[in-house]
Amino acid sequence: MSEFWEETLPAGYYDNILLNGLKKNRGVQPNWHNLTFIEVSKLINQDSKHLDYACGPGTLVGNYLKCDSIGVDISDKQIDYAKNKYGKNFYTIKEFDKIPKNEKKFDVITILGLFEFLTDEEILFTVNKLHEMLNEGGKIIFTTLNNESSMKYLEKIISLFGPVDYGHQHINKLSISKLSRLFQNINFQDIEIKKIHNYGIFFSFITINFGKIINNFFKKFKITNNGFLILGVLKKL
């Protein structure tokens, strides 16, 4: 996985896709990330102490949150990009004990788009270690692809025509049912898992705003239950 982030992706790759798409007001992939960050930001209070684990180029912290946040990632070049663009609260880590010592407890930890790169054992290890870094009543917010949806077919199309072979990189094909089984014995008080993003998001090729409207319309009237992305919240005892 480290090879993917260090060698395959240019620095700031996803940040540039999102921001350029928003500037042009067009694009499915930019709005995918935009709507994901909007959904996640709704779950984070402005007075929270927040850690963005596997923060990549720092897009969530730099553009969508106003709380006290830090970001960590294994990629030196993504962290360098985040520091240069969004400020100093970004750190490269290879192990959990490398998180700055004064930054050990958090109200919210986000893990966005990481689980599909990990084995089941690595997911559980990560969640359990991050559980130790939560304050009482804290929560982990995560997103991952929903392979019970048409996402498994879309992933093949995106990999075929895009610069990244996600079929090769995404080693874990997750779903709500699989995550529910995986998390049944972890030490969290409450687990909420839902699906977001439907076929409406593809109207973003017209404009970002139109794609958002159609996506919300489909969601409100339950026109489709085919959520491409899983959004989960794990609440600490």
pLDDT in tens, 85-109: 999 899 998 776 667 666 679 999 9
Residue-level pLDDT at 189: 87
Q: Please give the residue that has the higher pLDDT: either 123 or 102.
A: 123
What is the tens place of the pLDDT at every residue in 211-237? 999 999 988 887 767 789 999 999 997
How far is the C-alpha of 211 from the C-alpha of 46, rounded, in Å? 27
Q: Please give the residue that has the higher pLDDT: either 22 or 9.
A: 22
What is the tens place of the pLDDT at every residue in 33-61? 999 999 999 999 999 999 999 999 999 99
How far is the C-alpha of 225 from the C-alpha of 208, rounded, in Å? 21
* Domain extent listing, the chain: 2-236
Residue-level pLDDT at 158: 65
Backbone angles phi, psi at 62, to 5 degrees: -75, -25
Residue-level pLDDT at 183: 95
pTM above 0.85, yes or no: yes
Average pLDDT over residues 141-159: 80
Confidence class of residue 160 from pLDDT cuts 50, 70 and 90?
low
How far is the C-alpha of 99 from the C-alpha of 121, rounded, in Å? 22
Region 2-236: CATH code: 3.40.50.150
Q: Please give the residue that has the higher pLDDT: either 101 or 187.
A: 187
Average pLDDT over residues 144-161: 75
56: tokens are 């990549």
How far is the C-alpha of 69 from the C-alpha of 86, rounded, in Å? 11
DSSP labels for 5-62? IIIISPTTHHHHHHHHHHHHT--HHHHHHHHHHHHHHTTS-TT-EEEEET-TTSHHHH
Beta strands 134-145 and 229-236 are: antiparallel
